[in-house]
Amino acid sequence: MRLFFIAVILLLLVTDVAGCTAEERGSLVIYTALFEDHAIKVAEAFQKETGIKVSYVRLSSGQILARIRSERIHPGADIWLGGPADTFVQAETEGLLEPYISPNANAIDPVYKDHDGHWTGIYVGSIAFVSNQKWLQEVGLPPPQSWYDLIKPQYKGMVSMADPRSSGTAYTTFATLVQLFGEEEAFSYLKKLHGQIGEYKTSGNVTGRNVGMGEVGTAIMFSHDGIKYYKEGFRDLVITFPNEGTGYEIGAIAIVKGTSNLSEARRFVDWALTRQAQELGKQVGSYQLLTNKNAVPPEEAIPLASLNVIPYDHVWAGENRERLLSRWEKEVLNQ
């Protein structure tokens, strides 16, 4: 009889994922730059599949970097999910990321991942002009086709762009201009563009809502975010691309250095690189291109091959981010 009770107790203590406690399954905290609905879908799907409890904090890319940097001694998150790889590269140079090469990274083209595993791309998206067609008609302008269209007098106070110090979208725009025109010409352009911008937003995707509501004429943002706002009901939006060339982001994932949940974090990265995980975004209106070669991107996603995309150097952009932002703050923001 005594042996029977011991066996029962052991059976209650030793269970699989379906029956074990949350503590036994583990937990993860994620800092993410994804849209809220996408982040919720990812957290729910991974937790359902693995039993690992997931919580997340939604921030812009620059804010995530600043937070991880401030928490270096006692990390507050295990995973960094989403936002341009440029910022991940800077975090890598500061020793803030835990390298991990997932076996599932074999399905990701080498151009979309760090060869040492500090970060791996999960989606791709291009920089675009997202304009309010009704406003364009009112002022007698065609949709912008050039970077220099945005510095025409009619656009004064009507261009929306985020702050590149906090926004990955805006920094990708900034680094695109530097790589496209050269640093001196780019800064000359940025000084003129500064006079057209009423206010720098914290987050790049917020600018699309401003345009959709008719508060400004054109936003510089990722094309997939513009598509999302259009599909959600802002039907006056029109998307165009600069004929001189545009840049693009590699939205990435990484493990935060010093995580106390390394096993769970690696499992999350493995999962995030799968076809099934990458295709979740389509269910909530995320229209990026996908990096897993077996994943089917949304029909609405705009292929890079159809655009005049510059050979954007994400590593260079990340390694020079601090220097370029310091110069921008001094010469453009505080001119």
Same-domain pairing of 195 and 324 = yes
Residues 144 and 237: beta-carbon distance below 8 Å: no
Per-residue model confidence as pLDDT tens digits over 41-86: 999 999 999 999 999 999 999 999 999 999 999 999 999 999 999 9
Q: Name the residue among 59, 48, 56 with its Cα closest to residue 30.
A: 56
DSSP conformation class of 329:
I
Structural domains of the chain, count: 2
DSSP conformation class of 17:
T
At residue 335 the predicted structure's pLDDT band, cuts being 50, 70 and 90, is: confident
Per-residue model confidence as pLDDT tens digits over 153-168: 999 999 999 999 999 9
Same-domain pairing of 114 and 135 = no
Per-residue model confidence as pLDDT tens digits over 271-326: 999 999 999 999 999 999 999 999 999 999 999 999 999 999 999 999 999 999 99
Mean pLDDT score across all residues of the chain: 92
Tokens of 94: 């500061």
Mean pLDDT lowest for which of 37-51, 142-156, 205-219?
205-219
Same-domain pairing of 144 and 191 = yes
**pLDDT of 92:** 98
Residue 32 lies in a domain: yes
Same-domain pairing of 97 and 174 = no
Rounded Cα gap, residues 111 and 126, in angstroms: 15
Same-domain pairing of 163 and 266 = no
Mean predicted confidence (pLDDT) in 182-188: 98
Q: Name the residue among 326, 28, 320, 24 with its Cα closest to residue 172.
A: 320
Is 70 exceeded by the pLDDT of residue 6?
A: no
Q: Name the residue among 271, 318, 306 with its Cα closest to residue 292.
A: 271
Tokens of 275: 């076809």
Rounded Cα gap, residues 47 and 238, in angstroms: 37
Mean pLDDT lowest for which of 7-11, 109-113, 186-190?
7-11
Is 60 exceeded by the pLDDT of residue 16?
A: no
Residue 233 lies in a domain: yes
**pLDDT of 21:** 43
For the entire predicted model, the pTM comes to 0.91
Mean predicted confidence (pLDDT) in 14-30: 59
CATH code, domain with 287: 3.40.190.10
Q: Domain span at residue 266? A: 22-124+249-298
Contact partners, residue 216, CB within 8 Å, separation at least 6: 132, 157, 158, 159, 160, 198, 207, 210
Rounded Cα gap, residues 224 and 286, in angstroms: 7
Q: Is 108 helix (H, G, I), strand (E, B) or coil?
A: strand
Helical pair 168-181 and 61-70, crossing angle rounded to 10 deg:
110
Same-domain pairing of 213 and 329 = yes
